[in-house]
Structures are given as structure tokens and as C-alpha cells.
């Protein structure tokens, strides 16, 4: 059987230590090497070390001492002495401690479960008290807002819509008065919706029969309404009233209508703007695709140039 290097070294040490002369010679070499390491600087005395090195060295000494004591305790326990002769005597029944330990653990578990149950009940009571306090403060705040003169402002269309639909999806059927509130709000929403649809049909009919002046007024009202813009209902109003988008706001004989081609021609001249060479530098508007142009000067200076070239035109 081939021996490993560790086994070979172990046999070599055992053979060396068996000879007293070789053992003494080896110990002398180790002591000389130890003193030489101090002279060279590989090892230091504890007084020559820094505070950090001293702490590290003492920690290693402490670990080695603990390991040495454990080895001594194990070696001492391995020393066996012959047992004494047994003395015959009456047999004594020793009770098994396992049932007592199991009963103690069961009682401890029950006490722990009971404590968790009591803590859970306390937390539930605290949560219910906090919920009631929150509801009371919410009702008080709502009442103060309702009665405060600073909060008396008209409801917005979105608020009115939310109030109409507030009690329609009430999940708690057992709540007192919930069915009555749903029926009441449903009738109110029905009347409001009927009024809105009737008003929409009336406006659509009037708009279809109105003259040019009324058409212009309704177009401006629909396109420039503040509430319609806020709630994004302009397209919905045009759809319901059957109105055309992009109504022309100026007459064909007006000054702006006559000056528009001249201004376009002035800005598209090569001395006032330059065309971009890119294939994707295009702008499409009203189905007409044109190449993008960049002004050669500021708008103020180009405006002065336009007025100098066209003295009979006054444009701002």
C-alpha cells in the first residue's frame, strides 16, 4: 500500500523522536532558528509590538490555550480505571423524566398561545377604537366644511357626477337607508341625464336651423368653452351637436385673408429662409407635405424687412 506524504512525515517524526540524541539535536536546531528569527526581524517580543499587534498576538495565545485545555480534558477522560465490584442490593425504580419534560413543554406552549390570543384581542380592540375615532373625525370635518362660509362654493361638473353615482354601488346591503339612498340617487341621475340629452337634442336642432351668426357663436362657444376644455369634452360636444371642426373665423375679403399668401411667399424666399436637405425634415399639415425651412434672421428683423418692401401694408 502506498503511503501518503502525511503518513511518511508522521513515521519520520516518530522514528526521530524515538532516538533521544536525534530528538535533542532537533530541539537545539529549533531553538537556534527561533533566536535567529528574532535577530532578523521575523518575530518580535510583545513589548516591541504595536498595540494592534499586541492585541492580535494575545488573541492567538488565548485560542491556543483554550485548545490545549480541551486536549488535556479529552486525554484525561480517556484514562480508564478498572470499575469497582458491584454490590448487590435492592432494585430501585428510577422514574423516567421524559413525561415530565413533555408535560412542561405542553404547558409552556399553551401559555404562549394564550398570550398571543390576548395580544391579538387587544390589537383588535385598538384597531376598532382607531377606526371609530377616524370615522368620527371625518364626519366632524365634513360637517365643518359644509357649514364653513369659506367652503361654500358651487360644485364642479365632476363633483356633481360623483355625487349622483356615489350610492349606486353600495356593497353593504344591511346598512340602514342604503336601498332608499340608491333609489333616490338613481331617480335624480335619471332626471339629470334626461335633461342633458334633451338639451343636447335641442341645441343640435337649433344649430341645424340657425343662420350664419348663430353658427359662429355656437362654434366659438363649443371650441373655446373653459369647462369643456377642462374636462376634455370638446370632441364629445361636436359629436353630439353635429358641428364641423375647424370653422373659418374670418371672411374671404378680410385683410388677413389677403395678406396670408404674401407673407407665406416672403418667408419662403431663399434670402429669408433656407431649406433643410434632410429626407425626413418635412412637415405635413392639412394633407400637404412640405420641406422644413429655417429662418436666416430673427422674426423682428424679417418683419421690418417686410414692411420696407411693402410700404402700403401695415402688419404687426
**pLDDT at residue 104, as a whole number:** 74
Q: Is 100 within a domain?
A: no
222 CB-contact burial (10 Å; exposed 0-12 / middle 13-18 / buried 19+): buried
Q: Is 135 within a domain?
A: yes
Q: Is 188 within a domain?
A: yes
**pLDDT at residue 193, as a whole number:** 73
**pLDDT at residue 108, as a whole number:** 87
Q: Domain range spanning residue 293?
A: 255-309
Q: Look at the alpha carbons of 205, 210, 216, 220 in this order and tell me if their dihedral is positive or negative.
A: negative
The cell for 234 is 370638446
Ordered per-residue pLDDT tens for the chain, 316 residues: 678 999 999 999 999 999 999 999 999 999 999 999 988 988 889 999 999 999 999 999 999 999 999 988 887 766 655 556 665 655 555 555 556 666 778 888 899 999 999 999 999 999 999 999 999 999 998 888 878 777 666 777 777 777 767 766 544 454 445 677 777 777 777 777 777 777 676 666 666 666 555 555 655 555 556 666 777 767 766 766 666 655 555 555 677 777 888 888 888 888 889 988 888 889 888 888 888 989 989 989 988 888 888 888 776 6
Burial 73-91 (b: 16+ CB within 10 A, else e): eeeeeeeeeeeeeeeeeee
pTM of this structure: 0.27
* Partners of residue 282 on adjacent β-strands: 291
**pLDDT at residue 249, as a whole number:** 55
Cβ atoms of 207 and 214 within 8 Å: the answer is yes
With pLDDT > 70 as the criterion, what percentage of the chain qualifies?
69
- Domains of the chain: total: 4
Residues 223 and 183 reside in one and the same domain: yes
Cβ atoms of 186 and 207 within 8 Å: the answer is no
**pLDDT at residue 151, as a whole number:** 66
Closest CA to 303 of 275, 272, 274: 272
**pLDDT at residue 171, as a whole number:** 47
Cβ atoms of 239 and 275 within 8 Å: the answer is no
As a whole number of angstroms, the distance between CA 68 and CA 64 comes to 6
**pLDDT at residue 175, as a whole number:** 47
Residues 124 and 174 reside in one and the same domain: no
Residues 179 and 224 reside in one and the same domain: yes
Residues 65 and 117 reside in one and the same domain: no
Closest CA to 243 of 281, 280, 205, 284: 205
CA dist 314 → 260, 262, 266, 272, 300 (Å): 13, 13, 15, 20, 14
Q: Is 246 within a domain?
A: no
Q: How many CB atoms lie within 10 A of CB 259?
A: 16
As a whole number of angstroms, the distance between CA 183 and CA 205 comes to 33
Residues whose CB falls within 8 Å of the CB of residue 310, separated by 6 or more in sequence, listed in order: 262
**pLDDT at residue 30, as a whole number:** 93
Amino acid at each position: 500500500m502506498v503511503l501518503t506524504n502525511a503518513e511518511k512525515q508522521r513515521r519520520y517524526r516518530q522514528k526521530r523522536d524515538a532516538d533521544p540524541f536525534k530528538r535533542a539535536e532537533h530541539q537545539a536546531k529549533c531553538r537556534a532558528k527561533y533566536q535567529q528569527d528574532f535577530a532578523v526581524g521575523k518575530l518580535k517580543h510583545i513589548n516591541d509590538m504595536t498595540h494592534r499587534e499586541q492585541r492580535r498576538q494575545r488573541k492567538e495565545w488565548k485560542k491556543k490555550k483554550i485548545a490545549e485545555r480541551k486536549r488535556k480534558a479529552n486525554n484525561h477522560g480517556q484514562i480508564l480505571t478498572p470499575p469497582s465490584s458491584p454490590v448487590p442490593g435492592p432494585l430501585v425504580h428510577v422514574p423516567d423524566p421524559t413525561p415530565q419534560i413533555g408535560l412542561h413543554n405542553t404547558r409552556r406552549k399553551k401559555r404562549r398561545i394564550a398570550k398571543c390570543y390576548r395580544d391579538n384581542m387587544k390589537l383588535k380592540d385598538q384597531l376598532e377604537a382607531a377606526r371609530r375615532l377616524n370615522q368620527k373625525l371625518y364626519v366632524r370635518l365634513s360637517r365643518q366644511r359644509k357649514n364653513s362660509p369659506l367652503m361654500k362654493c358651487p360644485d364642479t361638473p365632476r363633483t356633481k357626477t360623483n355625487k349622483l353615482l356615489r350610492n349606486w354601488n353600495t356593497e353593504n346591503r344591511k346598512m340602514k337607508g342604503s336601498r332608499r339612498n340608491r333609489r333616490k340617487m338613481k331617480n335624480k341621475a335619471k332626471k339629470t341625464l334626461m335633461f342633458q340629452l334633451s338639451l343636447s337634442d335641442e341645441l343640435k336642432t337649433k344649430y341645424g336651423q340657425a343662420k350664419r351668426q348663430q353658427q359662429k357663436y355656437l362654434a366659438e362657444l363649443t371650441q373655446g368653452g373653459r369647462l369643456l376644455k377642462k374636462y376634455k369634452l370638446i370632441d364629445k360636444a361636436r359629436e353630439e351637436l353635429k358641428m364641423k371642426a375647424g370653422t373659418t373665423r374670418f371672411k374671404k375679403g378680410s385683410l388677413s385673408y389677403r395678406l396670408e399668401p404674401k407673407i407665406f411667399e416672403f418667408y419662403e424666399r431663399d434670402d429669408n429662409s433656407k431649406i433643410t436637405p434632410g429626407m425626413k425634415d418635412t412637415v405635413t399639415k392639412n394633407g400637404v407635405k412640405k420641406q422644413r425651412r429655417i429662418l436666416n434672421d430673427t422674426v423682428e428683423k424679417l418683419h421690418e424687412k417686410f414692411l420696407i418692401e411693402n410700404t402700403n401694408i401695415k402688419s404687426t
